Amino acid sequence: MALRQRLYGWFPWLRAADLRLVAELVVIVLLVLVFVQIGDAVTEGDPQQLDERILLALRDTPADPVGPPWLENAMMHLSALGSGVVTGLVALIAVGFLILARRPAYAALVALCVIGTGLGMYVLKSIYERPRPTVVTHVDPPGGLSFPSGHSMISVALYLTLAVLVARALDQRRLRVFAVAVGVLLAVVIGFTRLYLGVHYPTDVLAGWTAGLGWALVCGLIARRLGNRGTVEDGGGDDVTAPST
């Protein structure tokens, strides 16, 4: 407390500044810089050999992933949790529920999160135009380009957003932590399945996580700013906050 009072005395503007907003902006900028660095490295081909070594480490042979057949099937099912069809359905259910629950700001946040992620993914893939891995055989043959991983990007953005919205409705801290941890776990597992199935390089997945987290933070920042100004109404009376933890 004494240190805080001294800081206020040395820097009076700290009293009025929204330090949370500053922290969020710093994190978003850092995520953008990390993504750009990954993209530049991929464009120059620097991580190609490491990417391929990691994919091969997950294979007994280039055509056969490690583990029994049931594990391969399980990975395909888990990977589907990040597909456009599944995430689109989850988002529609969430938006419908939030509208019925009279939480229009939260519903708009989920819709913005999904639509923005889809548009961003399309633009980024068009910019980098990285082909899919060829060093291993794809277990679940995909279409389109490889960088960044769309499954990884949407899973972070959507599931983390939903997890934080659920956490806001819970009273106990351990339940809130559990809800957010589940969202993070889903994103991590989905990203790993893309490597196991051989449809993405590790740098694709890392870039997808980075972009998805950055967009989730942007959605939370916008929603809270609007809520603080009274522009967005929230049925519960709280300001609207997205995944900015």
pLDDT at position 122, please? 92
pLDDT of residue 213: 92
pLDDT digits (tens, 9 = 90+) for 131-140: 999 888 888 7
- Tokens 């043959």 found at: 141
* pLDDT at residue 11 greater than cutoff 70: no
Angular region, 67: left φ>0, alpha ψ -120 to 50, beta rest: left
From residue 216, how far is each of 42, 50, 123 by CA, in Å? 24, 29, 17
Q: How far is Cα 108 from Cα 223, in angstroms, rounded to an integer?
A: 9
User: Top-level CATH class of 68-245?
Assistant: mainly alpha
Q: Is the pLDDT of residue 189 over 50?
A: yes
User: Which tokens sit at 9?
Assistant: 């005395």
Euclidean distance between CA atoms 190 and 236, whole angstroms: 32
How confident is the model at residue 186, as a pLDDT?
94
Across 82-102, average pLDDT: 92
pLDDT given for residue 41 in this prediction: 92
pLDDT digits (tens, 9 = 90+) for 32-55: 999 999 999 998 888 889 999 999
Report the range of poorest mean pLDDT among 102-111, 126-135, 164-173, 221-230. Answer: 221-230
Closest residue by Cα to residue 128 from 143, 116, 144: 144
